[in-house]
A and B are shown apart, each in its own frame.
Chain A
Amino acid sequence: MTYIAKPKFHHPGLKKNELGYTHRDYEGKISTLCAGCGHDSITASIIEACYELSIEPHRVAKISGIGCSSKTPDYFLGNSHGFNSVHGRMPSVLTGANLANRDLIYLGVSGDGDSASIGFGQFAHSIRRAVNMTYIVENNGVYGLTKGQFSATADRGSKSKKGVTNTDNAIDLVAIALQLGATFVARSFSGDKTQLVPLIAAAIRHKGASFIDVISPCIAFNNHAGSTKSFDYVREHNDAVNRLDVLVGREPISVDYAPGTVQVVEQHDGSRLALRKLDADYDPHDRLGAMTFLQKHAAKGQIVTGLLYVDPDAEDLHTHLDTVETPLNTMDERALCPGSAVLDKINASLR
């Protein structure tokens, strides 16, 4: 199949955001994924989050690796530059892009094969380096494009469509991200847009390494009985610890919340995250607590979702490298070249 054109007309009464953009301005090409794929719901959530945040669509760089999930950046933010790079290497490409221009928003889209297997190292190191990015893993526990092999996030004991039982232990990317020092860690479910959209929005507004693991059932190869990444299984075992609203600008915190049920987190850029607690004991500022909570619930077969950890005062790689505020890609010879007089001195010192 070659490129599908998407009709450009839309309803004249379509709602506009603060910048005057409609939903359509954040859309991309028509998806070539299977009908009903969880990834398309995540695409829709990204579009929704960017629309709601009133991001200029061309100020986002969308970068991915290889696989079904990595194809999706073509299906949203059609006015953004996208880069479908090399299998498992999205994190390094994104890191380089971020170093070149700190002013864009970096959205990394990856899958469980891309991030937990071939790119496990790059996933880990981009998070350790605190690259300012939103790293989304569209996690279906299976290799879709190559037709149904287990991935490294498939739970031990889960069954493939062909009836094979997985005997390898699963990698929990959320647990790893917490250990590696990610400063925004969340898990969600592609079937739960109301939870996912604000998480993506909050992650985009977070300065630092944001990681979201989105369980996203593969309709073709991993949605059967015996799978632990199927729509039915995830719905039954979803244990959401909180619900989130992202508040940007001067809008006041809604008074709808019952007293004591909401925790407000102010991020570095002034955005506020209103967290409605579903689990009274859960504290999203406690990294160690989050790790323990996750492991305990995983042992019971529950999939913990929500904003699991956030450090609102996080730093990023540019802070650590102490780079100039001006994007490096805009500098010319006047800014970068020391010139011949300096070179003469260097020559003199080498004699």
Chain B
Amino acid sequence: MSVQSPISSVNDFVVRFANVNGSGSASANELFARSILRHGVPVSPRNIFPSNIQGLPTWYEVRVTEDGHLGARGGVDMMVAMNPQTWDKDVASIEPGGYLFYDSTKPMPSSKFREDITVIGVPLTAITNSTYTDPRQRQLFKNIIYLGALCALLDLDPKVVEQLIGEQYKGKEKLLSSNVHALHLGRDWALQNLKCPLGLRVKKSDKVGDRIFMEGNSAAALGAVYGGATVCAWYPITPSSSVAEAFTSHCKKYRHDPETGKAKYAIVQGEDELASIGIVIGASWNGARAFTATSGPGISLMTEFIGLSYFAEIPAVIMNIQRAGPSTGMPTRTQQCDVIACAYASHGDTKHVLLFPEDPAEAFEFAAAAFDLAERLQTTIFLMLDLDIGMNHRLCRPLKWDDAKQYDRGKVMTAEMLEEGRDFGRYLDVDGDGIPYRTYPGTHPTKGSYFTRGTSRDRYARYSEEGAVYADNMQRLVRKFETAQDMVPRPLQANAAKPTKYGVLYFGSTSPAMDEAIGILEARGHQLDRMRIRAFPFHSSVASFIADHDFVYVVEQNRDAQLRQLIVNENGIDPVRLVPILHYDGTPITARFIANAIGDHQDHLKVTPLRKAVT
């Protein structure tokens, strides 16, 4: 085996922590990521966890990236191997020249290591056991001790870590000082016994700026608070549960009446997803802004109600934090696999508005906007997140709110308007945009009441099975969907430096990997214009973008090229012009994957014609 020199890199490497679920490692690992951020160096952390509470393997990966590449990179430069169960695989996954950090308390046979990596043994258990007697303390402080050792090895400023610990345990002096003590135990041992720092190191920089570090689910929940949601009904399902939990904690802070202390919100944990969406529909029908958060299996259960929302025209906001399906699938792995299921959810002819945020900042904005859209369009709006955005901390621009903004409550006929003698037909298209007026229950003693039903009815909400009446209504719903096209967030286009015949379409959590891949591809000589789709129905610029290029790659995280199918279906595009680039193993898509797939395809296009090659 050739001698592999150790990887040397400043502010650009990947550290992966291999832990046992439930061992309390998560907070130490997050502290590690935050410490690097406080050095002014962007990080992109990811939880890779099993569908389990205690005992199974879990990983936490931190990509340290001065250049700000927030997608997953692939590969591991340093493995912090704290889980004997996954040792062999973990050791094997280290890049040649990488580093293995492990607990050297018990001797390991040399066959368990690799020659092409640097092995760093720290007797964590021995240090911990000689300091602490309580088993739980031993467990928790062991994590802080390895953090301390990493501090020395990667040249992190211990003051920065201490300050973060101080913020975390503000007012809990005992916990604060014991954590700081543990940190220094590990750091001092490493400084005395190991060559510090390593080739991998963190150097202070200024690349973080005013960006914030937040989970998409929490951001979406905050968007619901800002967007005026008052009713939330939900049923626990990974990876969406933290949306409702975050909404609860945001509401506790920001939604209590200062005088009475009473709640300006109602949150119900339903008995299932059917009840959750039922509560949302009931509340929205009655004029409150309501939402639910769920994942694939929940969407399947909700589809009957989604059809009712579409047909009876009742606002609803559904946040779908996508995970790998079908069926129970991989509940803790990410995918963008519910595009078709949501776009056409329910029996009969239906179409629904989908919003695709790329990160927590957009999750916040789109969540708030979803309530305006739902009430304006009187239909279900899906906020399509996925596990990668939802359950990982992501560096993003700060959240913004315009205090002059008023909620768009849509077309609601009031008692005054009814008194004026305005003609009220619940399903009457008065403005030509396909959107009728509605009234809230209890508006007027004699005017404006109507009977809401999932059965067909005429423009005045009267039951009817007349073919012409039914078709008239269905056509109006199409008109309404066309109206939606210009209301939803528009796609964003970025052109290549040089004119090119090729384009790429992508959406949602693929965004950071795509941005990075563009750079890699450019370096390989491939120029691509790119367009990030942010909503369905597709804006007309999507079709023109496709028309402007010989062909367009559609990058997505599912097997069946669902976005591509939707574009082909809705815009009548020749499928040959859309080349699918598909990643669907449950891990987040990487720039390497995209660049390789597109690069290989592009290279094939440049193959010299056979005749020319022979002569």
Binding site for B on A (CB under 8 A): 2-3, 56-59, 61, 63, 73-74, 78-86, 89, 91-101, 103-104, 121-122, 124-125, 129, 317-318, 321-325, 328-333, 335-340, 342-343, 346-347, 350-351
Which residues of the other chain, A, contact B454 by a CB distance below 8 angstroms? 84-86
> Which one of B274, B279, B285, B443 lies within 8 Å of A58 (CB-CB)?
B443
Please choose the segment from B19-27, B129-137, B227-235, B509-517 that sits at the chain A interface, where 4 or more of its residues have CB less than 8 A away.
B227-235
Q: In the complex the two chains form, is A97's CB within 8 Å of B452's CB?
A: no
Cβ-closest 5 pairs across A and B: A92-B278, A96-B282, A100-B288, A81-B441, A329-B287
CA distance A103 to B441 in the complex (A): 11
Task: Report A123 CB to chain B, min CB distance, Å.
Answer: 11
> Which one of B280, B403, B442 lies within 8 Å of A59 (CB-CB)?
B442
Which residues of the other chain, B, contact A331 by a CB distance below 8 angstroms? 228, 230, 264
B290 at the interface (CB under 8 A from A): yes
Task: Report B43 CB to chain A, min CB distance, Å.
Answer: 13
Q: In the complex the two chains form, is B464's CB within 8 Å of A2's CB?
A: yes
Q: In the complex the two chains form, is A338's CB within 8 Å of B254's CB?
A: yes
B174 at the interface (CB under 8 A from A): no
Q: In the complex the two chains form, is A61's CB within 8 Å of B286's CB?
A: yes
B270 at the interface (CB under 8 A from A): yes
B92 at the interface (CB under 8 A from A): no
Q: In the complex the two chains form, is B228's CB within 8 Å of A97's CB?
A: no
- Other than A323-B266, A331-B264, give 5 A-B pairs with Cβ distance below 8 A: A2-B462, A321-B268, A323-B262, A323-B265, A347-B398
CA distance A224 to B265 in the complex (A): 51
> Which one of A104, A121, A346 lies within 8 Å of B271 (CB-CB)?
A121
Q: In the complex the two chains form, is A100's CB within 8 Å of B290's CB?
A: yes
CA distance A91 to B268 in the complex (A): 13
Knowing A92-B279, A104-B441, A323-B263, say if A3 contacts B462 (CB, 8 Å): yes
Knowing A2-B464, A321-B266, say if A96 contacts B279 (CB, 8 Å): yes
CA distance A59 to B442 in the complex (A): 5
Task: Report B311 CB to chain A, min CB distance, Å.
Answer: 11
Q: In the complex the two chains form, is B442's CB within 8 Å of A58's CB?
A: yes
Q: In the complex the two chains form, is A95's CB within 8 Å of B278's CB?
A: yes
Knowing A100-B286, A324-B260, A346-B399, say if A333 contacts B407 (CB, 8 Å): yes
Q: In the complex the two chains form, is A93's CB within 8 Å of B279's CB?
A: yes
B402 at the interface (CB under 8 A from A): yes
Q: In the complex the two chains form, is B262's CB within 8 Å of A85's CB?
A: no
B212 at the interface (CB under 8 A from A): yes
Knowing A95-B278, A99-B268, A343-B399, say if A74 contacts B441 (CB, 8 Å): no
Q: In the complex the two chains form, is B279's CB within 8 Å of A339's CB?
A: no
CA distance A84 to B452 in the complex (A): 6
B405 at the interface (CB under 8 A from A): yes
B118 at the interface (CB under 8 A from A): no
B493 at the interface (CB under 8 A from A): no
Task: Report B110 CB to chain A, min CB distance, Å.
Answer: 45
Counting chain A CB atoms within 10 Å of each CB, which of B272, B282, B283 scores highest? B282
Would you give 14 A-B contacts (Cβ < 8 Å), ordered by A? A58-B441, A61-B442, A74-B463, A82-B452, A85-B308, A96-B284, A97-B282, A98-B282, A99-B268, A321-B263, A322-B262, A324-B262, A337-B228, A340-B401
Q: In the complex the two chains form, is B226's CB within 8 Å of A343's CB?
A: yes
Q: In the complex the two chains form, is B463's CB within 8 Å of A336's CB?
A: no
Q: In the complex the two chains form, is A129's CB within 8 Å of B268's CB?
A: yes
Knowing A2-B466, A96-B279, say if A350 contacts B212 (CB, 8 Å): yes
> Which one of B261, B271, B278, B464 lies within 8 Å of A86 (CB-CB)?
B278
Which residues of the other chain, A, contact B30 by a CB distance below 8 angstroms? none
Task: Report A61 CB to chain B, min CB distance, Å.
Answer: 5
Task: Report B483 CB to chain A, min CB distance, Å.
Answer: 24
Beta-carbon nearest neighbor of B451 in chain A: A82
> Which one of B260, B286, B439, B463 lies within 8 Å of A3 (CB-CB)?
B463
Beta-carbon nearest neighbor of B464 in chain A: A2
B32 at the interface (CB under 8 A from A): no
User: Which residues between 380 and 433 of chain B lie within 8 Å of chain A, taking CB atoms?
Assistant: 398-403, 405-407
Which residues of the other chain, A, contact B233 by a CB distance below 8 angstroms? 92, 96
Q: In the complex the two chains form, is B214's CB within 8 Å of A324's CB?
A: no
B465 at the interface (CB under 8 A from A): yes
Which residues of the other chain, B, contact A339 by a CB distance below 8 angstroms? 401, 403
CA distance A92 to B275 in the complex (A): 5
Which residues of the other chain, B, contact A322 by a CB distance below 8 angstroms? 261-263
Beta-carbon nearest neighbor of A339 in chain B: B403
CA distance A340 to B265 in the complex (A): 20
Which residues of the other chain, A, contact B345 by a CB distance below 8 angstroms? none
CA distance A19 to B255 in the complex (A): 38
CA distance A86 to B285 in the complex (A): 14
CA distance A342 to B304 in the complex (A): 39
Which residues of the other chain, B, contact A350 by a CB distance below 8 angstroms? 212-214
Knowing A2-B465, A101-B441, A324-B263, say if A342 contacts B254 (CB, 8 Å): yes
CA distance A121 to B271 in the complex (A): 8
Over the window 67-110 of chain B, the binary record of Cβ atoms lying under 8 Å from chain A Cβ atoms (1 yes, 0 no) is 00000000000000000000000000000000000000000000
CA distance A309 to B228 in the complex (A): 40
CA distance A74 to B263 in the complex (A): 34
Knowing A85-B454, A332-B407, say if A103 contacts B442 (CB, 8 Å): yes
Task: Report A67 CB to chain B, min CB distance, Å.
Answer: 13
Knowing A2-B462, A92-B270, A350-B212, say if A125 contacts B450 (CB, 8 Å): no
Which residues of the other chain, A, contact B450 by a CB distance below 8 angstroms? 81-82
Which residues of the other chain, A, contact B615 by a CB distance below 8 angstroms? none
Q: In the complex the two chains form, is B445's CB within 8 Å of A56's CB?
A: yes
Q: In the complex the two chains form, is B266's CB within 8 Å of A328's CB?
A: yes
Task: Report B121 CB to chain A, min CB distance, Å.
Answer: 35
CA distance A97 to B455 in the complex (A): 20
Which residues of the other chain, A, contact B281 by a CB distance below 8 angstroms? 85, 92-93, 96
User: Which residues between 458 and 498 of chain B lie within 8 Å of chain A, taking CB atoms?
Assistant: 458, 462-466
Which residues of the other chain, A, contact B506 by a CB distance below 8 angstroms? none
CA distance A333 to B255 in the complex (A): 12
B225 at the interface (CB under 8 A from A): yes
Counting chain B CB atoms within 10 Å of each CB, which of A83, A124, A323, A342 scores highest? A83
Q: In the complex the two chains form, is A86's CB within 8 Å of B305's CB?
A: yes
B257 at the interface (CB under 8 A from A): yes
Task: Report A349 CB to chain B, min CB distance, Å.
Answer: 9
CA distance A22 to B106 in the complex (A): 89
Q: In the complex the two chains form, is B406's CB within 8 Å of A85's CB?
A: no
B10 at the interface (CB under 8 A from A): no
Knowing A93-B285, A343-B226, say if A122 contacts B441 (CB, 8 Å): no
Knowing A104-B442, A321-B266, A346-B222, say if A96 contacts B283 (CB, 8 Å): yes
B584 at the interface (CB under 8 A from A): no
> Which one of A95, A124, A324 lies within 8 Å of B257 (CB-CB)?
A324
Which residues of the other chain, A, contact B241 by a CB distance below 8 angstroms? none
Which residues of the other chain, B, contact A58 by a CB distance below 8 angstroms? 441-446, 449
CA distance A63 to B312 in the complex (A): 14
B267 at the interface (CB under 8 A from A): yes
Which residues of the other chain, A, contact B462 by a CB distance below 8 angstroms? 2-3
B601 at the interface (CB under 8 A from A): no
Beta-carbon nearest neighbor of B283 in chain A: A96
User: Which residues between 206 and 261 of chain B lie within 8 Å of chain A, taking CB atoms?
Assistant: 208, 210-214, 222, 225-226, 228, 230-231, 233, 254-255, 257, 260-261
Task: Report A15 CB to chain B, min CB distance, Å.
Answer: 19
Beta-carbon nearest neighbor of B316 in chain A: A96
Q: In the complex the two chains form, is B440's CB within 8 Å of A329's CB?
A: yes
CA distance A98 to B228 in the complex (A): 18
Which residues of the other chain, A, contact B261 by a CB distance below 8 angstroms? 322
Q: In the complex the two chains form, is A92's CB within 8 Å of B282's CB?
A: yes
Which residues of the other chain, B, contact A347 by a CB distance below 8 angstroms? 210, 212, 398-399
